[in-house]
Chain A
Amino acid sequence: MATIKNNFDLLVEKLEAQANADGSAAAFQDINLQEVFIEIEDSLEQYRAETEKKHNDSKMELANIILSI
Protein backbone atom coordinates (compact mmCIF):
# COMPACT_ATOMS: atom_id res chain seq x y z
CA MET A 1 0.00 0.00 0.00
CA ALA A 2 1.35 3.43 -0.90
CA THR A 3 2.33 5.70 2.04
CA ILE A 4 0.16 8.77 2.25
CA LYS A 5 2.34 11.78 2.97
CA ASN A 6 0.99 14.55 5.15
CA ASN A 7 1.11 18.23 4.15
CA PHE A 8 4.00 18.99 6.48
CA ASP A 9 6.18 16.18 5.10
CA LEU A 10 5.38 17.18 1.51
CA LEU A 11 6.38 20.76 2.24
CA VAL A 12 9.57 19.67 4.00
CA GLU A 13 10.52 17.47 1.03
CA LYS A 14 10.03 20.39 -1.30
CA LEU A 15 12.10 22.74 0.86
CA GLU A 16 14.90 20.17 1.25
CA ALA A 17 14.98 19.53 -2.49
CA GLN A 18 15.18 23.26 -3.14
CA ALA A 19 17.95 23.70 -0.55
CA ASN A 20 19.94 20.85 -2.16
CA ALA A 21 19.52 22.40 -5.59
CA ASP A 22 20.67 25.80 -4.28
CA GLY A 23 23.55 24.25 -2.34
CA SER A 24 22.35 25.99 0.88
CA ALA A 25 23.96 25.19 4.21
CA ALA A 26 22.02 22.89 6.57
CA ALA A 27 20.10 24.39 9.46
CA PHE A 28 21.98 24.58 12.80
CA GLN A 29 25.02 22.99 11.14
CA ASP A 30 27.43 24.25 13.82
CA ILE A 31 25.40 22.74 16.71
CA ASN A 32 24.89 19.23 18.00
CA LEU A 33 21.13 19.41 18.48
CA GLN A 34 20.91 16.13 20.41
CA GLU A 35 23.39 17.42 22.97
CA VAL A 36 21.44 20.66 23.29
CA PHE A 37 18.19 18.79 23.88
CA ILE A 38 19.76 16.52 26.53
CA GLU A 39 21.14 19.58 28.35
CA ILE A 40 17.75 21.29 28.26
CA GLU A 41 15.91 18.19 29.48
CA ASP A 42 18.33 17.77 32.39
CA SER A 43 17.95 21.38 33.40
CA LEU A 44 14.16 21.14 32.99
CA GLU A 45 14.01 18.09 35.23
CA GLN A 46 15.80 19.98 37.98
CA TYR A 47 13.52 23.01 37.51
CA ARG A 48 10.43 20.80 37.74
CA ALA A 49 11.60 19.20 40.99
CA GLU A 50 12.18 22.65 42.50
CA THR A 51 8.82 23.92 41.22
CA GLU A 52 6.99 20.93 42.69
CA LYS A 53 8.35 21.82 46.12
CA LYS A 54 7.29 25.46 45.61
CA HIS A 55 3.78 24.34 44.71
CA ASN A 56 3.58 22.22 47.86
CA ASP A 57 4.70 25.19 49.95
CA SER A 58 2.10 27.36 48.14
CA LYS A 59 -0.68 24.87 49.00
CA MET A 60 0.29 24.97 52.68
CA GLU A 61 0.31 28.76 52.68
CA LEU A 62 -3.09 29.06 51.01
CA ALA A 63 -4.76 26.84 53.60
CA ASN A 64 -4.20 29.46 56.30
CA ILE A 65 -5.50 32.57 54.53
CA ILE A 66 -9.06 33.70 55.25
CA LEU A 67 -10.62 35.94 52.62
CA SER A 68 -13.47 37.89 54.11
CA ILE A 69 -13.31 41.59 53.34
Chain B
Amino acid sequence: MENITTDLVSKEDLTNKIEEWFKGFYTINSTSSLQNIKTEVSGFINNLKDNLMFLLEYPYVDKLYRDTFYSYYSSKTIDYSRNCVRVSIFNPSVNDPNLFDTEEIKKAYLGFIVLRPTPPKVIGRNVINPLAFISHDINICSLKINTTANYHKLLASGFPHSTQDGETITCAETTLWSIVEYFSNKYSNYSPLLPSEIHQILSHFSYVRQIPSSGLAAAQLSFALKKIGFGVKIYARQAFTSEFEDILRIYVESGIPVIGVVQNASIGHALNIVGRTSYSKEEYDKIVPIPARPDLNIKNIAKCNTKLVFVDDNYPPYQTAEITSPTSYYSSPIWHSCTITSFIVPLYPKVYMEGGEARKIALDLLTRLNAFKNRTVAIKTFLTSSRSYKDYLLKLTDIDPTLKNLLLCLSMPKFIWVTEIFDEDQFLNNKCEGLIILDATEPKQFHIIGSVFEDNFLKKDTNSGVKALKINTTTFTSYNNNLTYYGDN
Protein backbone atom coordinates (compact mmCIF):
# COMPACT_ATOMS: atom_id res chain seq x y z
CA MET B 1 0.00 0.00 0.00
CA GLU B 2 1.37 3.39 -0.98
CA ASN B 3 1.38 6.22 1.53
CA ILE B 4 0.04 9.65 0.73
CA THR B 5 1.92 12.21 -1.36
CA THR B 6 0.68 15.80 -1.64
CA ASP B 7 1.88 18.92 -3.40
CA LEU B 8 0.44 22.43 -3.65
CA VAL B 9 1.05 24.23 -6.96
CA SER B 10 -0.14 27.24 -8.92
CA LYS B 11 -2.11 26.97 -12.18
CA GLU B 12 1.06 27.81 -14.09
CA ASP B 13 2.90 24.80 -12.64
CA LEU B 14 0.01 22.35 -12.61
CA THR B 15 0.49 20.59 -15.96
CA ASN B 16 4.24 20.07 -15.39
CA LYS B 17 3.55 18.68 -11.93
CA ILE B 18 0.93 16.30 -13.38
CA GLU B 19 3.44 15.16 -16.01
CA GLU B 20 5.96 14.51 -13.24
CA TRP B 21 3.40 12.54 -11.17
CA PHE B 22 2.14 10.48 -14.12
CA LYS B 23 5.76 9.59 -14.92
CA GLY B 24 6.52 8.74 -11.31
CA PHE B 25 3.35 6.99 -10.14
CA TYR B 26 2.09 5.40 -13.36
CA THR B 27 5.47 4.89 -15.09
CA ILE B 28 4.20 6.54 -18.25
CA ASN B 29 7.34 7.55 -20.10
CA SER B 30 6.26 7.94 -23.71
CA THR B 31 6.80 11.59 -24.67
CA SER B 32 3.72 11.65 -26.87
CA SER B 33 1.54 10.12 -24.11
CA LEU B 34 2.77 12.66 -21.61
CA GLN B 35 2.26 15.49 -24.08
CA ASN B 36 -1.31 14.29 -24.74
CA ILE B 37 -2.03 14.24 -21.01
CA LYS B 38 -0.67 17.77 -20.64
CA THR B 39 -2.78 18.95 -23.58
CA GLU B 40 -5.88 17.31 -22.11
CA VAL B 41 -5.33 18.85 -18.67
CA SER B 42 -4.38 22.31 -19.90
CA GLY B 43 -7.47 22.38 -22.15
CA PHE B 44 -9.61 21.49 -19.13
CA ILE B 45 -8.14 24.09 -16.76
CA ASN B 46 -7.74 26.79 -19.39
CA ASN B 47 -10.94 28.63 -18.36
CA LEU B 48 -10.22 28.48 -14.63
CA LYS B 49 -9.04 31.66 -12.93
CA ASP B 50 -5.27 32.14 -13.26
CA ASN B 51 -4.54 32.78 -9.57
CA LEU B 52 -6.02 29.55 -8.16
CA MET B 53 -4.00 27.03 -6.15
CA PHE B 54 -4.13 23.28 -6.75
CA LEU B 55 -3.46 20.56 -4.20
CA LEU B 56 -2.47 17.22 -5.71
CA GLU B 57 -2.96 14.03 -3.69
CA TYR B 58 -1.96 10.46 -4.54
CA PRO B 59 -3.18 7.73 -4.16
CA TYR B 60 -6.89 8.55 -4.35
CA VAL B 61 -9.56 5.85 -4.52
CA ASP B 62 -12.22 7.10 -6.92
CA LYS B 63 -15.52 5.21 -6.96
CA LEU B 64 -16.21 5.94 -10.62
CA TYR B 65 -12.77 4.91 -11.89
CA ARG B 66 -12.58 1.88 -9.59
CA ASP B 67 -15.85 0.64 -11.09
CA THR B 68 -14.47 0.81 -14.64
CA PHE B 69 -11.13 -0.58 -13.43
CA TYR B 70 -12.65 -3.73 -11.95
CA SER B 71 -15.19 -4.24 -14.72
CA TYR B 72 -12.84 -3.55 -17.64
CA TYR B 73 -9.29 -2.15 -17.26
CA SER B 74 -8.08 -4.92 -14.94
CA SER B 75 -8.94 -7.47 -17.66
CA LYS B 76 -6.56 -5.88 -20.20
CA THR B 77 -2.96 -7.00 -20.80
CA ILE B 78 -1.54 -3.53 -20.26
CA ASP B 79 -1.21 -2.63 -16.59
CA TYR B 80 -3.47 0.11 -15.29
CA SER B 81 -3.10 1.40 -11.76
CA ARG B 82 -6.25 1.19 -9.64
CA ASN B 83 -5.39 4.53 -7.99
CA CYS B 84 -6.08 8.05 -9.15
CA VAL B 85 -4.63 11.49 -8.49
CA ARG B 86 -7.02 14.01 -6.94
CA VAL B 87 -6.55 17.70 -7.64
CA SER B 88 -8.35 20.01 -5.19
CA ILE B 89 -8.92 23.61 -6.22
CA PHE B 90 -8.53 26.58 -3.87
CA ASN B 91 -8.71 30.33 -3.92
CA PRO B 92 -5.26 32.00 -3.86
CA SER B 93 -5.38 32.52 -0.08
CA VAL B 94 -4.27 28.90 0.42
CA ASN B 95 -0.56 28.29 0.82
CA ASP B 96 1.68 25.68 2.41
CA PRO B 97 1.60 27.18 5.95
CA ASN B 98 -2.24 27.29 6.17
CA LEU B 99 -2.98 23.91 4.55
CA PHE B 100 -3.92 22.57 7.98
CA ASP B 101 -6.11 25.56 8.90
CA THR B 102 -9.58 24.02 8.51
CA GLU B 103 -11.47 27.33 8.44
CA GLU B 104 -9.16 28.80 5.81
CA ILE B 105 -9.36 25.65 3.68
CA LYS B 106 -13.17 25.52 3.93
CA LYS B 107 -13.44 29.16 2.89
CA ALA B 108 -11.11 28.76 -0.07
CA TYR B 109 -12.30 25.38 -1.38
CA LEU B 110 -13.64 25.33 -4.95
CA GLY B 111 -13.99 21.64 -5.73
CA PHE B 112 -11.93 18.80 -7.13
CA ILE B 113 -10.88 16.99 -10.30
CA VAL B 114 -9.94 13.30 -10.30
CA LEU B 115 -7.22 12.29 -12.76
CA ARG B 116 -7.50 8.68 -14.01
CA PRO B 117 -4.49 6.66 -15.21
CA THR B 118 -6.22 6.20 -18.60
CA PRO B 119 -4.20 8.42 -20.94
CA PRO B 120 -4.94 10.51 -22.83
CA LYS B 121 -8.50 10.77 -21.41
CA VAL B 122 -7.37 11.41 -17.84
CA ILE B 123 -10.02 13.87 -16.60
CA GLY B 124 -12.33 11.83 -14.41
CA ARG B 125 -15.03 12.68 -11.90
CA ASN B 126 -15.09 16.33 -10.92
CA VAL B 127 -17.30 18.76 -9.05
CA ILE B 128 -16.10 22.33 -9.57
CA ASN B 129 -17.67 25.45 -8.09
CA PRO B 130 -18.53 27.76 -11.03
CA LEU B 131 -16.75 30.54 -9.08
CA ALA B 132 -13.45 28.86 -10.03
CA PHE B 133 -14.08 29.79 -13.66
CA ILE B 134 -13.18 33.16 -15.17
CA SER B 135 -16.73 33.46 -16.52
CA HIS B 136 -19.35 32.39 -13.96
CA ASP B 137 -22.46 34.51 -14.45
CA ILE B 138 -24.75 31.48 -14.55
CA ASN B 139 -27.77 30.05 -12.73
CA ILE B 140 -27.57 26.26 -12.40
CA CYS B 141 -28.87 23.19 -10.60
CA SER B 142 -26.16 22.59 -8.07
CA LEU B 143 -25.49 20.35 -5.11
CA LYS B 144 -23.07 20.15 -2.26
CA ILE B 145 -21.15 16.90 -2.23
CA ASN B 146 -19.16 15.57 0.73
CA THR B 147 -15.48 15.25 0.04
CA THR B 148 -12.06 15.80 1.62
CA ALA B 149 -8.84 17.60 0.78
CA ASN B 150 -5.66 17.45 2.81
CA TYR B 151 -7.62 15.43 5.44
CA HIS B 152 -10.24 18.19 5.94
CA LYS B 153 -13.89 17.22 5.47
CA LEU B 154 -15.28 19.63 2.88
CA LEU B 155 -18.29 20.32 0.65
CA ALA B 156 -17.81 20.67 -3.10
CA SER B 157 -20.49 22.79 -4.75
CA GLY B 158 -21.45 22.46 -8.42
CA PHE B 159 -22.72 19.89 -10.90
CA PRO B 160 -21.00 16.48 -11.23
CA HIS B 161 -19.00 16.05 -14.43
CA SER B 162 -16.56 13.60 -15.98
CA THR B 163 -15.05 13.24 -19.42
CA GLN B 164 -15.51 9.97 -21.25
CA ASP B 165 -12.64 7.50 -21.33
CA GLY B 166 -13.73 6.33 -24.78
CA GLU B 167 -13.56 2.65 -23.79
CA THR B 168 -16.01 1.94 -20.96
CA ILE B 169 -17.97 5.17 -21.03
CA THR B 170 -19.01 7.36 -23.96
CA CYS B 171 -21.09 10.52 -23.89
CA ALA B 172 -24.26 8.55 -23.19
CA GLU B 173 -22.93 6.79 -20.09
CA THR B 174 -21.19 9.87 -18.66
CA THR B 175 -24.30 12.00 -19.17
CA LEU B 176 -26.44 9.40 -17.45
CA TRP B 177 -23.91 8.95 -14.63
CA SER B 178 -23.65 12.71 -14.12
CA ILE B 179 -27.40 13.37 -13.92
CA VAL B 180 -28.01 10.41 -11.58
CA GLU B 181 -25.01 11.45 -9.46
CA TYR B 182 -26.67 14.85 -9.09
CA PHE B 183 -30.06 13.46 -8.06
CA SER B 184 -28.66 10.75 -5.77
CA ASN B 185 -26.50 13.20 -3.85
CA LYS B 186 -29.32 15.71 -3.56
CA TYR B 187 -32.35 13.52 -2.86
CA SER B 188 -32.53 10.35 -0.79
CA ASN B 189 -35.12 8.82 -3.16
CA TYR B 190 -32.42 7.94 -5.70
CA SER B 191 -29.29 5.77 -5.59
CA PRO B 192 -26.06 6.61 -7.42
CA LEU B 193 -25.34 4.72 -10.62
CA LEU B 194 -21.92 3.47 -11.71
CA PRO B 195 -21.02 2.58 -15.31
CA SER B 196 -21.10 -1.20 -14.68
CA GLU B 197 -24.59 -0.78 -13.19
CA ILE B 198 -25.69 1.21 -16.24
CA HIS B 199 -24.52 -1.65 -18.46
CA GLN B 200 -26.22 -4.17 -16.19
CA ILE B 201 -29.56 -2.31 -16.34
CA LEU B 202 -29.28 -2.02 -20.11
CA SER B 203 -28.20 -5.62 -20.66
CA HIS B 204 -31.88 -6.55 -21.18
CA PHE B 205 -32.16 -3.84 -23.80
CA SER B 206 -28.95 -4.63 -25.76
CA TYR B 207 -28.45 -7.08 -28.58
CA VAL B 208 -24.65 -6.70 -28.78
CA ARG B 209 -21.80 -6.58 -26.25
CA GLN B 210 -21.70 -3.43 -24.16
CA ILE B 211 -17.96 -3.09 -23.43
CA PRO B 212 -15.93 -1.60 -25.04
CA SER B 213 -18.75 0.90 -25.32
CA SER B 214 -19.78 2.11 -28.73
CA GLY B 215 -22.46 4.40 -27.33
CA LEU B 216 -26.10 3.94 -26.44
CA ALA B 217 -29.38 4.57 -28.20
CA ALA B 218 -31.12 7.64 -26.81
CA ALA B 219 -34.07 5.45 -25.86
CA GLN B 220 -31.74 3.41 -23.63
CA LEU B 221 -30.98 6.52 -21.54
CA SER B 222 -34.68 7.01 -20.98
CA PHE B 223 -35.09 3.29 -20.17
CA ALA B 224 -32.26 3.40 -17.59
CA LEU B 225 -33.71 6.50 -15.89
CA LYS B 226 -37.14 4.88 -15.71
CA LYS B 227 -35.61 1.69 -14.30
CA ILE B 228 -34.03 3.56 -11.40
CA GLY B 229 -37.23 5.27 -10.41
CA PHE B 230 -37.70 8.47 -12.40
CA GLY B 231 -40.99 9.42 -14.07
CA VAL B 232 -39.39 10.08 -17.45
CA LYS B 233 -40.88 12.29 -20.16
CA ILE B 234 -39.43 12.60 -23.67
CA TYR B 235 -39.82 15.59 -25.96
CA ALA B 236 -38.72 15.52 -29.63
CA ARG B 237 -38.43 18.77 -31.55
CA GLN B 238 -40.08 17.24 -34.59
CA ALA B 239 -43.18 16.28 -32.58
CA PHE B 240 -43.47 19.31 -30.29
CA THR B 241 -42.39 21.86 -32.95
CA SER B 242 -43.10 25.42 -31.68
CA GLU B 243 -43.62 24.30 -28.06
CA PHE B 244 -40.33 22.38 -27.87
CA GLU B 245 -38.02 25.19 -26.74
CA ASP B 246 -40.62 26.72 -24.38
CA ILE B 247 -41.11 23.40 -22.59
CA LEU B 248 -37.34 22.86 -22.36
CA ARG B 249 -36.96 26.29 -20.75
CA ILE B 250 -39.81 25.58 -18.30
CA TYR B 251 -37.92 22.51 -17.03
CA VAL B 252 -34.64 24.45 -16.87
CA GLU B 253 -36.43 27.15 -14.83
CA SER B 254 -37.73 24.36 -12.58
CA GLY B 255 -34.18 23.43 -11.63
CA ILE B 256 -34.48 19.99 -13.20
CA PRO B 257 -31.38 18.96 -15.14
CA VAL B 258 -32.43 17.37 -18.43
CA ILE B 259 -30.54 15.21 -20.92
CA GLY B 260 -30.28 16.97 -24.26
CA VAL B 261 -29.78 15.01 -27.46
CA VAL B 262 -27.84 17.03 -30.04
CA GLN B 263 -27.49 15.92 -33.64
CA ASN B 264 -26.52 16.81 -37.14
CA ALA B 265 -26.09 14.55 -40.18
CA SER B 266 -22.98 12.85 -38.76
CA ILE B 267 -23.12 13.44 -34.99
CA GLY B 268 -25.31 12.01 -32.21
CA HIS B 269 -24.32 13.34 -28.80
CA ALA B 270 -25.81 13.52 -25.29
CA LEU B 271 -25.20 16.28 -22.75
CA ASN B 272 -26.85 17.61 -19.64
CA ILE B 273 -28.66 20.95 -19.67
CA VAL B 274 -28.32 22.29 -16.14
CA GLY B 275 -29.24 25.96 -16.12
CA ARG B 276 -29.25 29.28 -17.92
CA THR B 277 -27.55 32.64 -17.98
CA SER B 278 -29.28 35.53 -16.19
CA TYR B 279 -32.22 37.40 -17.73
CA SER B 280 -30.88 40.55 -19.38
CA LYS B 281 -32.89 43.63 -20.26
CA GLU B 282 -31.78 43.28 -23.86
CA GLU B 283 -33.16 39.74 -24.20
CA TYR B 284 -36.26 40.46 -22.08
CA ASP B 285 -37.20 43.42 -24.28
CA LYS B 286 -37.06 41.17 -27.33
CA ILE B 287 -39.94 38.96 -26.09
CA VAL B 288 -42.94 39.72 -28.25
CA PRO B 289 -46.10 40.16 -26.12
CA ILE B 290 -48.93 37.86 -27.25
CA PRO B 291 -52.48 39.30 -27.10
CA ALA B 292 -54.50 37.04 -24.75
CA ARG B 293 -57.56 39.33 -24.81
CA PRO B 294 -58.11 42.66 -26.54
CA ASP B 295 -57.15 44.31 -23.22
CA LEU B 296 -54.36 41.97 -22.08
CA ASN B 297 -50.94 41.15 -23.55
CA ILE B 298 -48.74 38.41 -22.13
CA LYS B 299 -44.93 38.17 -22.29
CA ASN B 300 -43.98 34.53 -21.83
CA ILE B 301 -40.61 34.33 -20.04
CA ALA B 302 -40.00 30.92 -21.66
CA LYS B 303 -39.46 32.95 -24.85
CA CYS B 304 -36.55 34.88 -23.33
CA ASN B 305 -33.44 33.85 -25.21
CA THR B 306 -31.04 33.37 -22.30
CA LYS B 307 -28.17 31.02 -23.07
CA LEU B 308 -28.37 27.51 -21.67
CA VAL B 309 -25.66 25.99 -19.45
CA PHE B 310 -24.36 22.59 -20.55
CA VAL B 311 -22.43 19.88 -18.76
CA ASP B 312 -20.81 18.15 -21.70
CA ASP B 313 -18.26 15.35 -21.32
CA ASN B 314 -16.18 16.65 -24.26
CA TYR B 315 -15.60 20.03 -22.55
CA PRO B 316 -15.14 21.42 -19.04
CA PRO B 317 -18.46 21.90 -17.18
CA TYR B 318 -20.76 24.94 -17.49
CA GLN B 319 -20.38 25.71 -21.19
CA THR B 320 -22.94 28.27 -22.30
CA ALA B 321 -24.59 28.42 -25.71
CA GLU B 322 -27.78 29.57 -27.41
CA ILE B 323 -30.66 27.08 -27.44
CA THR B 324 -30.51 27.08 -31.26
CA SER B 325 -26.74 26.40 -31.49
CA PRO B 326 -26.00 24.22 -28.45
CA THR B 327 -22.51 23.15 -29.52
CA SER B 328 -21.22 26.53 -30.68
CA TYR B 329 -18.41 26.27 -28.06
CA TYR B 330 -16.83 23.33 -29.93
CA SER B 331 -13.63 24.26 -31.72
CA SER B 332 -14.32 21.85 -34.56
CA PRO B 333 -16.72 23.40 -37.12
CA ILE B 334 -18.38 20.04 -37.86
CA TRP B 335 -20.21 20.43 -34.54
CA HIS B 336 -21.59 23.87 -35.26
CA SER B 337 -24.61 22.67 -37.23
CA CYS B 338 -25.87 20.48 -34.34
CA THR B 339 -29.29 21.24 -32.86
CA ILE B 340 -31.13 19.92 -29.82
CA THR B 341 -33.43 17.37 -31.42
CA SER B 342 -34.84 15.82 -28.23
CA PHE B 343 -34.61 16.09 -24.50
CA ILE B 344 -35.30 13.62 -21.71
CA VAL B 345 -36.70 14.88 -18.41
CA PRO B 346 -36.15 12.79 -15.26
CA LEU B 347 -39.17 13.87 -13.23
CA TYR B 348 -40.09 12.83 -9.73
CA PRO B 349 -42.43 9.86 -10.41
CA LYS B 350 -45.46 11.49 -8.82
CA VAL B 351 -45.34 14.64 -10.94
CA TYR B 352 -48.22 13.68 -13.21
CA MET B 353 -48.86 17.08 -14.77
CA GLU B 354 -46.22 18.23 -17.22
CA GLY B 355 -44.76 21.63 -18.02
CA GLY B 356 -46.78 22.34 -21.17
CA GLU B 357 -50.07 21.65 -19.38
CA ALA B 358 -49.19 23.88 -16.42
CA ARG B 359 -48.37 26.75 -18.77
CA LYS B 360 -51.55 26.18 -20.78
CA ILE B 361 -53.79 26.25 -17.69
CA ALA B 362 -52.09 29.45 -16.51
CA LEU B 363 -52.58 31.12 -19.88
CA ASP B 364 -56.22 30.00 -20.06
CA LEU B 365 -56.96 31.32 -16.56
CA LEU B 366 -55.33 34.64 -17.32
CA THR B 367 -57.28 34.96 -20.55
CA ARG B 368 -60.67 34.03 -19.14
CA LEU B 369 -60.69 35.60 -15.67
CA ASN B 370 -60.77 39.18 -16.91
CA ALA B 371 -58.00 40.29 -14.56
CA PHE B 372 -55.10 42.62 -15.39
CA LYS B 373 -57.25 44.73 -17.73
CA ASN B 374 -55.42 47.11 -20.08
CA ARG B 375 -52.07 45.69 -19.05
CA THR B 376 -49.08 43.80 -20.40
CA VAL B 377 -47.95 41.16 -17.93
CA ALA B 378 -45.03 38.73 -17.94
CA ILE B 379 -45.48 35.14 -16.78
CA LYS B 380 -42.93 32.61 -15.56
CA THR B 381 -43.92 28.95 -15.04
CA PHE B 382 -41.86 26.45 -13.04
CA LEU B 383 -42.12 23.31 -10.94
CA THR B 384 -40.94 23.33 -7.35
CA SER B 385 -41.36 21.35 -4.17
CA SER B 386 -44.03 22.65 -1.81
CA ARG B 387 -41.44 22.43 0.99
CA SER B 388 -39.10 24.88 -0.73
CA TYR B 389 -41.99 27.09 -1.80
CA LYS B 390 -43.45 27.37 1.70
CA ASP B 391 -39.99 28.07 3.08
CA TYR B 392 -39.72 30.92 0.56
CA LEU B 393 -43.20 32.20 1.52
CA LEU B 394 -42.35 32.06 5.20
CA LYS B 395 -39.24 34.17 4.67
CA LEU B 396 -40.91 36.73 2.37
CA THR B 397 -40.97 40.13 4.03
CA ASP B 398 -42.62 42.20 1.32
CA ILE B 399 -45.86 40.21 0.87
CA ASP B 400 -49.19 41.22 2.43
CA PRO B 401 -49.29 39.30 5.77
CA THR B 402 -52.86 38.01 5.25
CA LEU B 403 -52.02 36.69 1.79
CA LYS B 404 -48.90 35.08 3.22
CA ASN B 405 -50.95 33.29 5.89
CA LEU B 406 -53.54 32.24 3.36
CA LEU B 407 -50.90 30.70 1.08
CA LEU B 408 -48.97 29.08 3.93
CA CYS B 409 -51.95 27.19 5.32
CA LEU B 410 -52.91 25.70 1.97
CA SER B 411 -52.46 21.97 1.71
CA MET B 412 -50.00 21.20 -1.11
CA PRO B 413 -48.65 18.00 -2.68
CA LYS B 414 -44.89 17.33 -2.71
CA PHE B 415 -44.54 19.16 -6.05
CA ILE B 416 -46.47 22.13 -7.39
CA TRP B 417 -46.52 24.05 -10.64
CA VAL B 418 -46.26 27.78 -10.06
CA THR B 419 -46.89 30.56 -12.54
CA GLU B 420 -45.82 33.99 -11.34
CA ILE B 421 -47.44 37.04 -12.92
CA PHE B 422 -45.42 40.24 -13.19
CA ASP B 423 -46.15 43.70 -14.40
CA GLU B 424 -44.19 44.05 -17.62
CA ASP B 425 -41.84 46.58 -15.99
CA GLN B 426 -41.29 44.63 -12.79
CA PHE B 427 -40.01 41.27 -14.07
CA LEU B 428 -36.36 42.31 -14.08
CA ASN B 429 -36.82 43.74 -10.57
CA ASN B 430 -38.02 40.28 -9.42
CA LYS B 431 -41.34 41.68 -8.17
CA CYS B 432 -44.45 39.69 -9.00
CA GLU B 433 -48.05 40.60 -8.26
CA GLY B 434 -50.00 37.48 -9.17
CA LEU B 435 -49.70 33.73 -8.75
CA ILE B 436 -51.19 30.49 -9.94
CA ILE B 437 -50.28 27.38 -7.91
CA LEU B 438 -51.37 24.12 -9.52
CA ASP B 439 -51.45 20.57 -8.21
CA ALA B 440 -48.68 18.66 -10.06
CA THR B 441 -50.18 15.32 -9.03
CA GLU B 442 -53.38 15.85 -11.02
CA PRO B 443 -53.23 14.34 -14.53
CA LYS B 444 -56.87 14.57 -15.58
CA GLN B 445 -58.47 17.72 -14.16
CA PHE B 446 -56.88 20.85 -12.83
CA HIS B 447 -56.76 21.83 -9.21
CA ILE B 448 -55.92 25.41 -8.39
CA ILE B 449 -54.27 25.07 -5.00
CA GLY B 450 -54.29 28.83 -4.70
CA SER B 451 -54.07 31.80 -7.06
CA VAL B 452 -53.91 35.56 -6.91
CA PHE B 453 -55.28 37.73 -9.70
CA GLU B 454 -54.94 41.38 -8.70
CA ASP B 455 -57.06 41.64 -5.51
CA ASN B 456 -58.82 38.30 -5.97
CA PHE B 457 -57.85 35.00 -4.40
CA LEU B 458 -59.10 31.82 -6.04
CA LYS B 459 -58.89 28.16 -5.04
CA LYS B 460 -60.51 25.22 -6.79
CA ASP B 461 -60.43 21.48 -6.24
CA THR B 462 -62.80 18.54 -6.51
CA ASN B 463 -63.00 17.99 -2.74
CA SER B 464 -63.73 21.45 -1.39
CA GLY B 465 -65.08 23.17 -4.52
CA VAL B 466 -64.36 26.78 -5.44
CA LYS B 467 -63.41 29.52 -3.03
CA ALA B 468 -63.07 33.10 -4.29
CA LEU B 469 -62.14 35.98 -1.97
CA LYS B 470 -61.22 39.63 -2.08
CA ILE B 471 -57.77 40.27 -0.61
CA ASN B 472 -55.22 43.04 -0.33
CA THR B 473 -52.17 42.56 -2.50
CA THR B 474 -48.89 44.26 -3.11
CA THR B 475 -46.01 43.27 -5.31
CA PHE B 476 -43.68 40.78 -3.67
CA THR B 477 -40.30 39.22 -4.40
CA SER B 478 -40.52 36.36 -6.87
CA TYR B 479 -39.29 32.82 -6.26
CA ASN B 480 -35.76 32.23 -7.51
CA ASN B 481 -34.63 29.23 -5.49
CA ASN B 482 -34.72 26.52 -8.18
CA LEU B 483 -31.37 27.53 -9.62
CA THR B 484 -28.25 28.70 -7.78
CA TYR B 485 -26.84 31.98 -9.03
CA TYR B 486 -23.04 32.16 -9.18
CA GLY B 487 -22.63 35.63 -10.69
CA ASP B 488 -21.36 38.76 -9.00
CA ASN B 489 -24.66 40.72 -8.79
A interface residues, Cβ below 8 angstroms from B: 6-8, 11-12, 15-16, 19, 24-28, 30-31, 33-34, 36-37, 39-41, 43-44, 47-48, 51, 53-55, 57-59, 61-69
From A37, A59, A69, B269 is in contact (CB under 8 Å) with: A69
Q: Are B342 and A58 in contact (CB under 8 A)?
A: yes
Q: Are B217 and A67 in contact (CB under 8 A)?
A: yes
- A54 to chain B minimum Cβ distance, whole angstroms, is 4
Contacts of A15 in B (CB 8 A): 402, 406, 469-471
Contacts of B238 in A (CB 8 A): 57, 61
The interface size bin for chain B is 35 or more
Q: Are A67 and B218 in contact (CB under 8 A)?
A: yes
- B265 to chain A minimum Cβ distance, whole angstroms, is 13
Q: Are A36 and B368 in contact (CB under 8 A)?
A: yes
Interface residue ranges of B210-260 to A (CB < 8 Å): 214-219, 221-222, 233-236, 238-240
- A43 to chain B minimum Cβ distance, whole angstroms, is 6
CA distance A51 to B368 in the complex (A): 22
> Known contacts A36-B369, A68-B214: does B233 contact A11 (CB below 8 Å)?
no
CA distance A48 to B468 in the complex (A): 27
CA distance A29 to B127 in the complex (A): 55
CA distance A11 to B445 in the complex (A): 27
CA distance A1 to B360 in the complex (A): 44
- 30 A-B residue pairs with CB within 8 Å: A7-B405, A16-B469, A24-B470, A26-B470, A27-B458, A28-B458, A31-B370, A34-B466, A37-B466, A40-B368, A44-B364, A51-B356, A53-B239, A54-B236, A55-B233, A58-B234, A58-B236, A59-B219, A62-B218, A65-B261, A65-B263, A65-B268, A66-B215, A66-B217, A66-B218, A67-B170, A67-B215, A67-B269, A69-B170, A69-B171
CA distance A48 to B222 in the complex (A): 21
Contacts of A43 in B (CB 8 A): 360, 364
CA distance A65 to B405 in the complex (A): 50
Q: Are B240 and A27 in contact (CB under 8 A)?
A: no
From B218, B467, B471, A65 is in contact (CB under 8 Å) with: B218
CA distance A61 to B119 in the complex (A): 36
- The closest CB in chain B to the CB of A43 belongs to B364
- A69 to chain B minimum Cβ distance, whole angstroms, is 5
CA distance A7 to B402 in the complex (A): 12
- B153 to chain A minimum Cβ distance, whole angstroms, is 37
CA distance A40 to B219 in the complex (A): 34
Q: Are B341 and A65 in contact (CB under 8 A)?
A: yes
Q: Are A68 and B235 in contact (CB under 8 A)?
A: no
Q: Are B236 and A62 in contact (CB under 8 A)?
A: yes
Interface residue ranges of B375-433 to A (CB < 8 Å): 402, 405-406, 409-411
Q: Which of B368, B455, B458 has the most CB of A within 10 A?
A: B368
B interface residues, Cβ below 8 angstroms from A: 170-172, 175, 214-219, 221-222, 233-236, 238-240, 261, 263, 267-270, 314, 341-342, 344, 354, 356-357, 360-361, 364-365, 368-370, 402, 405-406, 409-411, 445-446, 455-458, 460, 466-471
Main secondary structure, interface of B, reads: mixed
CA distance A54 to B467 in the complex (A): 35
Contacts of B411 in A (CB 8 A): 8
Q: Are A68 and B239 in contact (CB under 8 A)?
A: no
Q: Are B470 and A51 in contact (CB under 8 A)?
A: no
Q: Are A40 and B470 in contact (CB under 8 A)?
A: no
Q: Are B217 and A63 in contact (CB under 8 A)?
A: yes
Contacts of B268 in A (CB 8 A): 65-69
CA distance A43 to B267 in the complex (A): 39
Q: Are A59 and B261 in contact (CB under 8 A)?
A: no
Q: Are B470 and A61 in contact (CB under 8 A)?
A: no
- The closest CB in chain A to the CB of B314 belongs to A69
From B175, B240, B270, B314, A54 is in contact (CB under 8 Å) with: B240
From B175, B217, B410, B466, A33 is in contact (CB under 8 Å) with: B466
